[in-house]
Chain A
Amino acid sequence: MSRSPVDAARVKRFMERWRGDAAFRHAVSSSAADAGRDLGVDPHALRPLWDPDAVELPEHALDPAVRDYRRDQAQLAGVRDRLTQRLEAGSRPYARWRGRQIGRCMSQSYPPAWINPHYPFAIELAKGCSIQCNYCCFDAPRLSAVARHDRDGNARLFREILETLRAFFGEAADSGFLYWATDPLDNPDYERYVEAFRECLGSPPRTTTAAWYRDIPRTQRLLALGGPSRAAGVHRLSINSLAQLRLAMRQFTPEELAEVGLVAQNPGSTLAKCAAGRGATADPTAPVASNTDISGFILNLVERSVQMITPCSDLARWPLGYAVYRRGVFADAQGLQDFLRACERDEMGHLVDDASVPRLRDDVSRCAAPDADEVVLATSHAQLSYDHAVDTALLRAIDGTRSLGEVVRGLMTEHDPIELYARFERLRGDGLFEQLPAPMR
């Protein structure tokens, strides 16, 4: 097997071009020996990255560049687990609630959601978005206002907000970011907020922008401010057309973007669209319902508003792909803290009372199990088979009418009650009982 000396940045660029450019994909697959030579890579050596017939080559047969690329991708895919670990130091009710949302999404969503990081928060620094992507899953309205750093007490309030979020989430607050249904570069003071973020939380926030091409030197200066925390992923430039993909590849060397993702959203790219918001209009076959990657809070600095949200695939009820538990406004950091604590107390359901009646999620049904020692549950996307004796006993006893206390009492003659409660918490952690709130008016 030939060993390719290409470096990771060039392989990454090759793959980004492969994803974004249909003609390039065709050229690679039809004449792998030539296409991509201008990038300094050997497409043939990279075949396991792009050829479905070669993806399962044994590890020892892989070119080192392929192994390195896959390792880098796995590293990125590990963001959620690093975040989970770090969030243990913050609000315990939040950490457990987020864990249950991850469990719920695992059985409600297509595989891309399985590595959804479920970030803790985002802060919008504008109202609306100037880009107006036709696939915008949040159906962002047109840009109508920005929160200037030196006006309305924003500079001070922003720092106080970050301190409040750090007190709530612990050091993992550095995984938050400063956009949602907005583009960060719409705010001319974005870099000043980034600097404040770094000063308060230790590293710059992750930036994703579709406005990177409007002022390339500004984008270069922004990227030069440094990368985000390892638990926050990487900076990303959204690509909305083939021309933009080519422009990005002309303006930035592979090395400059070694730690910056090019997210090809343009027509002809291999990336899946999401059906939420305007996504279904852009791609009627969009296989992914929601691409919300927050289980936590969205704040808006212009409106001084805050919402507690989590990803949701039920677009009939939540068309933007996330369910909202609670909305509020705050005038100062104390108001925000009160909101966070109220959510923690009222919405995150840290402990299940013995009197409460556990009930399987509405989208979870029971199936005939092939084995008498198993309980099989099904959702529209997955089957969950439980074979631990305590799990199966609990799942058979939980019928939506008996309280948790009654369920445990009824099983105590056969099973240790400590194990019954412990296994119930694990089942709960799988999101099986996690009912989403009804849509708000």
Chain B
Amino acid sequence: MNVSSEQVQSWAKLVVQSWDDAALKQRLLSDPIPALREAGFQLPAGMRVKVVEDPARTAEFADDVTLVLRLPPAPSEPRGAALSEAELDAVSGGTVRMALASNPHAAYLAGTIMPTHVPDRFPDIAAP
């Protein structure tokens, strides 16, 4: 069954939302039509919808009146990944490199602290 580019886009957004919303994911898997309609899908009366996580099962449900949507898993890369000191110049999973603009604290990046000139490394720095 063909879907429009608008539906492809709407489905993509739902997929990404479901990665962060277990209840939405469960609804999509168990009772997808109301969830899809809430998301703006125009679904003709009588149409069946099946959402599968396993791509191997797509063919199992595909027919002329069933829209089969695959819900891929979330990327395994953790969100808000831990930042080690060694990663201070290469944060966010390697997709973005962050470097300090010129400032007197650049030594932090390499772990080369100039103790009398830069803020102390102890994490209690003046914080309440």
Report A24 CB to chain B, min CB distance, Å: 13
Are A378 and B101 touching (Cβ within 8 A)? yes
Given contacts A81-B82, A272-B118, contact A110 B105 (CB under 8 A): yes
Are B72 and A386 touching (Cβ within 8 A)? no
Are B116 and A426 touching (Cβ within 8 A)? no
In the complex, what residues of B have CB within 8 A of residue A422's CB? 16, 19, 75
- Expressed in whole angstroms, the Cα–Cα distance for A260 and B72 within the complex equals 47
Are A112 and B98 touching (Cβ within 8 A)? no
Q: What are the interface flags for B75-103 relative to A under an 8 Å C-beta threshold, 1 for contact and 0 otherwise?
A: 10001101111001001100111111101
Report B86 CB to chain A, min CB distance, Å: 10
Interface residues on A, range: 35 or more
Are B124 and A425 touching (Cβ within 8 A)? no
Query: Is there a chain B Cβ closer than 8 Å to A233's Cβ?
Result: yes
Are A412 and B8 touching (Cβ within 8 A)? yes
Report B120 CB to chain A, min CB distance, Å: 5
Query: Is there a chain B Cβ closer than 8 Å to A324's Cβ?
Result: no
- Expressed in whole angstroms, the Cα–Cα distance for A386 and B96 within the complex equals 5
Report A403 CB to chain B, min CB distance, Å: 12
Are A73 and B97 touching (Cβ within 8 A)? no
- Expressed in whole angstroms, the Cα–Cα distance for A416 and B126 within the complex equals 46
In the complex, what residues of B have CB within 8 A of residue A279's CB? 126
Within 8 A of A (CB), among B98-128: 98-101, 103-105, 108-116, 118-128
Interface residues on B, range: 35 or more
Report B1 CB to chain A, min CB distance, Å: 18
Query: Is there a chain B Cβ closer than 8 Å to A134's Cβ?
Result: no
Query: Is there a chain B Cβ closer than 8 Å to A164's Cβ?
Result: no
Query: Is there a chain B Cβ closer than 8 Å to A116's Cβ?
Result: yes
- Expressed in whole angstroms, the Cα–Cα distance for A83 and B33 within the complex equals 37
Are A92 and B104 touching (Cβ within 8 A)? no
- Expressed in whole angstroms, the Cα–Cα distance for A122 and B105 within the complex equals 30
- Expressed in whole angstroms, the Cα–Cα distance for A288 and B72 within the complex equals 43
- Expressed in whole angstroms, the Cα–Cα distance for A341 and B74 within the complex equals 27
Q: List 12 A-B contacts (CB under 8 A).
A: A74-B85, A92-B20, A122-B128, A263-B122, A271-B125, A288-B126, A382-B100, A384-B97, A386-B95, A408-B12, A416-B12, A426-B92
- 7 closest Cβ pairs, A-B complex: A272-B119, A417-B12, A111-B108, A81-B82, A421-B16, A293-B127, A418-B12
Binding site for B on A (CB under 8 A): 19, 25, 50, 52, 55-56, 73-74, 76-79, 81, 84, 92, 96, 99, 102-103, 106-107, 110-112, 114-117, 122, 135, 137-138, 179-181, 208, 233-234, 236, 261, 263, 265, 270-274, 279, 287-288, 291-293, 351, 354, 378-388, 391, 405, 408-409, 412, 416-418, 420-422, 425-426, 429-430
| 12 other A-B residue contacts (CB within 8 Å) besides A52-B112, A417-B9 | A77-B123, A92-B20, A96-B20, A106-B91, A111-B118, A111-B119, A137-B128, A272-B119, A381-B103, A383-B101, A385-B96, A426-B92
